[in-house]
Amino acid sequence: MNAVPATTSERIAIRSMRGEDLPQVLEIDRQSFSMPWPASAYEYELHENPASMLWVAEALEPQASPCVVGMIVVWFIVDEAHIATIAVHPNRRGGGIAKQLLATAMEKIISRDFSIATLEVRASNMAAQNLYRLFGYQIVGQRPRYYRDNQEDALIMTIQGLDHAYLDWLEKRAWEISSGEKNDPR
Ligand SMILES: CC(C)(COP(=O)(O)OP(=O)(O)OC[C@H]1O[C@@H](n2cnc3c(N)ncnc32)[C@H](O)[C@@H]1OP(=O)(O)O)[C@@H](O)C(=O)NCCC(=O)NCCS
């Protein structure tokens, strides 16, 4: 996929991932990660893993076909939600699409009564760490040499005590998230 930059008439919709999204999702994955997931991994998450939920961000524009511009995958494991992956097409970054994807995931995590969410992020990935901090995630640990391609450490980021108050904050302060204010949600 060759996602073009956003235009003013465009709208972003977040919806569940479907099988037909996979070519665009795989292309975003390939352009976003040094160790992209193989197609089989997405197929497993989409069609076979009952603990997995997947969403895409779709750019909708009058007169143009909808275009997948980002995705997020969340695993629901015992009592913890795990952000397995999130990515936005390189041409479309910096426009709040990841915030919309993560907000959708956080709403679902809380509506499923999960109070803890966690993830791993490369120590050098400041863009992603800033995104997670914006939603209240904090660094709680480190996995040394976690990433096989360059032996980079993973930081473990977690948010605990997720509840309807957090959801209220997310809903009431959505304008702040989308306009970039950085107040602590807790
Ligand atoms: C991380 C990623 C998903 C962010 O997507 P995005 O749509 O550009 O993010 P948004 O525009 O919603 O920005 C959300 C916040 O993230 C942070 N952020 C995003 N890009 C950033 C950058 N280049 N530098 C620093 N912080 C950044 C900011 O806090 C930003 O909020 P602000 O705009 O109010 O300052 C995107 O850069 C990406 O796909 N990266 C490659 C894949 C990846 O690293 N995924 C995370 C794996 S753990």
pLDDT of 179: 47
pLDDT tops 70 at residue 1: no
Q: Is the dihedral of CA 14, 157, 122, 148 positive or negative?
A: negative
**Residue of 160, 164, 159, 46 whose CA lies nearest to 111:** 164
pLDDT of 168: 87
pLDDT, one tens digit per residue, over 129-181 is 999 999 999 999 999 999 999 999 999 999 999 999 998 888 876 656 554 44
Residue 4: pLDDT band by 50, 70, 90 thresholds? low
Residue 186: pLDDT band by 50, 70, 90 thresholds? very low
pLDDT, one tens digit per residue, over 108-131 is 999 999 999 999 999 999 999 999
DSSP string, 2-50: -PPPP-TT-EEEEEE--GGGHHHHHHHHHHH-SSPPPHHHHHHHHHT-T
Is 69 close to ligand 1, i.e. is its CB under 6 Å away? no
How much distance in Å is there from the Cα of 97 to the middle of ligand 1?
9
Is 144 close to ligand 1, i.e. is its CB under 6 Å away? no
Helix ranges, 33-157 (H): 39-47, 97-111, 126-134
Is 126 close to ligand 1, i.e. is its CB under 6 Å away? yes
Q: From CA 129, how far away is CA 137, in angstroms rounded?
A: 9
pLDDT, one tens digit per residue, over 41-87 is 999 999 999 999 999 999 998 888 999 999 999 999 999 999 999 99
In the chain, the domains with their CATH numbers are 11-179 (3.40.630.30)
Helix ranges, 118-159 (H): 126-134
Bridge partners (DSSP) of residue 11 are: 60
pLDDT, one tens digit per residue, over 8-47 is 678 999 999 999 999 999 999 999 999 999 999 999 999 9
Q: From CA 134, how far away is CA 174, in angstroms rounded?
A: 11
